[in-house]
């Protein structure tokens, strides 16, 4: 009996000593992640006298995969978001008409690189391709015309991610997008966004 008790005590002590080491060996920013996003959206279109801007609420979801080596973290990611930002004009071509241009869905695919400031905090930068849809609605005495256009451009940004538990995290991020193509035509549109996110890492 004495030998059994001593063996159990030794095993318990060894397990307690090994557990912190295993936790330290695990890279906290490695693996598949999914997240929900929400925040502020500011869209500016055109330049000079034809410029206009609008503010709205952006919302959506993202997915990514990261690999951590030491303090460095590299990953790929994708997002789909929507926005309430829009611009409206009345009496544009005729008395009583109205034009509404609103931000539609936004698709993003890119990469990010970061550095683990601590076992829980990650600072990162990101960049990639974005495709944003613009929905157009024109109403006049003769009827309603609805259409949409897709804008192609690039996105860059930076953020901070913080692990709240072994597999959950929160994040804050700023990103800038520039769109230079509209179905083959050169345009000049910019987008600034401030987002917060919550996510799960698997």
d(CA 38, CA 57): 7
d(CA 127, CA 176): 9
Cβ atoms of 58 and 43 closer than 8 Å: no
Residue 55 belongs to what domain range? 2-201
Written as six digits, the tokens of 92 are 């544009």
Provide the pLDDT confidence category of residue 186 given band limits of 50, 70 and 90.
Answer: low
What's the pLDDT score for residue 201?
96
* Model confidence, pTM: 0.77
Q: Which of 37-51, 124-138, 171-185 has the lowest mean pLDDT?
A: 37-51
What's the pLDDT score for residue 187?
62
What's the pLDDT score for residue 6?
38
Cβ atoms of 157 and 127 closer than 8 Å: yes
Instruction: Give, rounded to a whole angstrom, the gap between the first and last alpha carbons of the chain.
Output: 43
Q: How many domains in the chain?
A: 1
Q: Which of 43-47, 129-133, 182-186 has the highest mean pLDDT?
A: 129-133
Any idea which residue has 């060894």 for tokens?
14
pLDDT exceeds cutoff 50 at 85: yes
Q: What is the mean pLDDT of the chain?
A: 82
d(CA 60, CA 78): 11
How does DSSP classify residue 50? G
pLDDT (tens digit per residue) in 119-172? 999 999 999 999 998 887 788 878 887 887 888 999 999 999 999 999 999 999
What's the pLDDT score for residue 147?
80
Mean pLDDT confidence for 11-31 = 54
Q: Please, which residues bridge with residue 61 across strands?
A: 36, 80
Written as six digits, the tokens of 91 are 């009496």
More confident residue, 101 or 123: 123
DSSP string, 71-123: TEEEEEEEEEEEE--EEEEESSSSTT-EEEEEEEEEEEEEEEEEEESSSSEEE
Domain of residue 69, CATH code = 2.40.160.20
d(CA 10, CA 95): 88
More confident residue, 104 or 33: 33
């Amino acid at each position: 009996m004495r030998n059994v008790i001593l063996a159990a005590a030794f095993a318990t002590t060894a397990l307690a000593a090994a557990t912190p080491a295993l936790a330290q060996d695990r890279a906290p920013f490695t693996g598949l992640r999914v997240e929900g996003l929400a925040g502020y959206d500011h869209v500016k279109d055109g330049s000079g006298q034809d410029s206009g801007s609008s503010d709205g609420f952006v919302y959506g979801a993202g997915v990514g995969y990261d690999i951590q080596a030491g303090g460095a973290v590299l990953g790929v990611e994708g997002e789909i978001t929507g926005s309430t930002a829009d611009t409206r004009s009345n009496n544009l071509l005729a008395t009583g008409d109205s034009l509404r241009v609103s931000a539609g869905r936004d698709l993003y695919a890119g990469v990010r690189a970061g550095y683990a400031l601590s076992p829980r905090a990650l600072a990162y930068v990101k960049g990639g391709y974005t495709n944003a849809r613009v929905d157009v609605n024109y109403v006049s005495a003769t009827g309603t015309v609805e259409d949409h256009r897709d804008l192609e451009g690039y996105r860059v940004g930076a953020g901070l991610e913080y692990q709240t538990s072994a597999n959950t995290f929160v994040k804050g991020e700023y990103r800038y997008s520039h769109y230079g193509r509209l179905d083959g035509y050169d345009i000049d549109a910019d987008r600034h966004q401030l987002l917060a996110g919550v996510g799960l890492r698997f």
